[in-house]
Chains A and B, each alone.
Chain A
Amino acid sequence: MSFDNAYEAITEENDSRWAFGTGFEDPLSGVDATVPSGVDGADLAAYCLMLGDDALIFSHRLQEWCTNAPELEDEVAIANIGLDLLGQARLLLARAGKAEGGDRGEDHYAFFRAENEFRNVRLAELPRGDFGELIARLLVFSTWRLALLQRLVESRDPVLAAIAAKGVKEVTYHRDYAAQWAVRLGDGTEYSRERMTAGLASVWPYADELFTPHPVELRLAGAGVAVDPSATRAEFDDVLGQVLRAATLEVPEAAAIPGVAGKAGRHGVHTEAMGYLLAELQSVARAHPEATW
């Protein structure tokens, strides 16, 4: 094998010398991407970005725990959960590109959108706190996401339904991990209980946003494609109630932090933490826009 220059050699297609290949291929390659009849492609794309951005941005926060977790086992657990969510994000962002009908792939959405084009809930982007905050956030996020994905399995969009069915299996053990730690910390020592209580108090003001539907979600829910997030509230409250009772903790009483003029994450209105997060997430891709990974 000979090449004119070294770069040609390392970007050669299908080169099995590289552990994970060169270049990330379309995670939906070969999947029928037809948009179901009567469904607006732009709406479907926006909806996929909502669920995909939730996973992408929270995955980024989870990745910040690498080398920062209290124990090796939890380091591995958090990294595994982050990887699952990154995988779900890749599928959803790729689905958004196909629903939109252009040639945009997952990298475009992850690396070349501006802050106000990201549609994740604000809970996902909050700066990394302590382990109590992580467990509280993961518990709230995964309980809500599992309730959403379980319903999305019935979506009229077969791609979304398939992504959801796979996600249900994964988010089930994300939620169990968070719930088991919430019980251990809440019903643990005085100090662990204090930290767990503070963690719940810090994420609780962002919980209401999870159940506030965006017009796109409502339109698509009406078409049998999406889930109206307000329909997941009862299940969420029930599961949180089970966990908090076992943890001997109270449901936090903290006022919701509203968005701006009724708009929050789903509308692209984020907290100040989002810009810093994106600066880190996007800097390499933006510095080398033609690079092959």
Chain B
Amino acid sequence: MVTAQAVASRVTDPELPMLTLADLGVLREVSEEDGKVVVAITPTYSGCPAMDTMRDDLVHALRAAGYAEVEVRTVLRPAWSSDWITEDGRRKLAEAGISPPGAAPRRSVPVPLTLGPPARRVRCPRCGSAETERLSEFGATACKALHRCRACREPFEHVKEI
């Protein structure tokens, strides 16, 4: 029997299907308690509409692998950070034409106001050029911004640093 950890680690994200939940850093822990598999996941954003699907997908995958009893628990703390996307995950994002995030901003209190564009250096995931510009800080999902490459002229998505 494949271990529960291995089964859960292969479940993919519903909105970024090239990544597993483990690549994304959403899968926090897989353990077994009294014959029951307990999986802990954390939302990327408070309003992430994919949490229910992730839960369902994990339960389905584990049941199909022979684990009859599965419980999926939410963990809220510490809050998810784009820094938790694994090296493997970053490579897969780039291969899919999505620019992976840089380092998340360090938290300070009070949070400083930013009146200019974010100070991020984004390389085009298609041609590698550093000549890119931001089109929109908000994109099709909460975690992505829209950028454009000035060298190859292609638009592309960038996973935001959070």
Chains A and B belong together in one complex: yes
- Please report the number of residue pairs spanning A and B whose Cβ atoms sit closer than 8 angstroms: 127
Question: Please, which residues of chain B bring their CB within 8 A of the CB of A77?
Answer: 136-138
Chain B, residue nearest A163 (CB): B76
Residues in chain B near residue A163, CB distance under 8 A: 46, 76
CB neighbors of A among B118-162 (8 A): 135-140, 142, 146, 162
Chain A contacts for B59, CB-based, 8 A = 14
- In the complex, B106 has a CB within 8 A of chain A: no
CB neighbours (8 Å) of B35 from chain A are none
- Give chain A nearest CB distance to B54 CB in angstroms: 9
Nearest A-chain residue to B109, judged by Cβ: A150
Asked if B52 and A25 sit within 8 Å, CB to CB, the answer is yes
Q: Are B46 and A91 in contact (CB-based, < 8 A)?
A: yes
Which A residues are closer than 8 A to B by beta carbons?
Answer: 14-16, 19-21, 23-25, 27-31, 73, 76-77, 79-81, 83-88, 90-91, 146-147, 150, 158-159, 161-163, 165-170, 172-173, 175-177, 179-180, 183, 235, 239, 242-243, 246
When C-beta atoms are compared, the residue in chain A nearest to B44 turns out to be A166
A170 with B45: in contact, given A76-B136, A76-B138, A246-B115 (CB under 8 Å)? yes
Let me know if B71 and A87 touch, CB within 8 A. Answer: no
Q: Is the CB of B142 within 8 A of A20?
A: no
- Asked if B113 is at the interface (CB within 8 A of a chain A CB), the reply is yes
Residues of A within 8 A of B53 (CB): 16, 19-21
The DSSP consensus for interface residues of chain A is: helix
Once bound together, how far apart are the Cα atoms of A147 and B110, in whole Å? Answer: 8
B38 to chain A, nearest CB (A): 8
Contacts of A14 in B (CB 8 A): 56, 59-60
Contacts of A90 in B (CB 8 A): 46-47
Bound: A167/B137 CA distance, A: 18
With both beta carbons as reference points, the residue of chain A lying nearest to B52 in the complex is identified as A21
Using A20-B50, A235-B110 as known contacts, say yes or no to A25 and B55 having CB atoms under 8 A apart: yes
Q: In the bound complex, do residue A239 and residue B113 qualify as a contact, i.e. CB atoms below 8 Å apart?
A: yes
- Sampled A-B contacts (7; CB under 8 Å): A28-B76, A76-B140, A84-B47, A91-B76, A150-B110, A166-B46, A169-B162
Besides the known contacts A165-B77, A177-B138, 9 further A-B residue pairs in the complex with CB atoms under 8 A apart: A14-B59, A25-B55, A30-B74, A73-B136, A80-B142, A83-B142, A84-B46, A170-B45, A179-B115
Q: Complex formed: what's the CA distance from A159 to B76 in Å?
A: 8
Over the window 38-76 of chain B, the binary record of Cβ atoms lying under 8 Å from chain A Cβ atoms (1 yes, 0 no) is: 001001011111111101110110000000000111111
Binding site for A on B (CB under 8 A): 14, 40, 43, 45-53, 55-57, 59-60, 71-80, 107, 109-111, 113-116, 135-140, 142, 146, 162
Which residues in B have their C-beta under 8 angstroms from that of A84? 45-47, 142
* B138 and A16 form a contact (CB under 8 A): no
A168 to B106, CA, bound (A): 13
Query: B14 to chain A: closest CB distance in Å?
Result: 8
A239 to B115, CA, bound (A): 11
Contact A165 B47 (CB under 8 A): no
Query: CB-CB < 8 A to B116: which residues of A?
Result: 180
Q: Quick check: B52 and A162 within 8 Å, CB to CB?
A: no
A21 to B50, CA, bound (A): 9
Assess whether B113 is in contact with A179, with CB atoms less than 8 Å apart: yes
Nearest Cβ on chain B to A156's Cβ, whole angstroms: 14
A162 touches B115 (CB 8 A): no
CB-CB < 8 A to A21: which residues of B? 52-53, 55-56
CB pair A31–B115 under 8 Å, yes or no, is: no
Instruction: Tell me whether B48 and A87 are in contact (CB under 8 A).
Output: yes
B74 CB to closest chain A CB (Å) equals 5
Supposing A29-B74, A73-B136, A166-B46 touch, asked if A150 and B60 sit within 8 A by C-beta, the answer is no
Cα A15 to Cα B77 in complex, Å, equals 29
Pair B73/A29 contact, Cβ less than 8 Å: yes
Known: A21-B55, A243-B113. A166 touches B79 (CB 8 A): yes
A163 to B48, CA, bound (A): 14
User: Which A residues touch B45, using CB under 8 A?
Assistant: 83-84, 87, 166, 170
Rounded to whole angstroms, the CA-CA distance of A180 and B71 in the bound complex is 44
Expressed in whole angstroms, the Cα–Cα distance for A170 and B80 within the complex equals 11
Contact B74 A27 (CB under 8 A): yes
A165→B79 contact, CB < 8 A: yes
Complex Cα gap A183–B115 (Å): 8
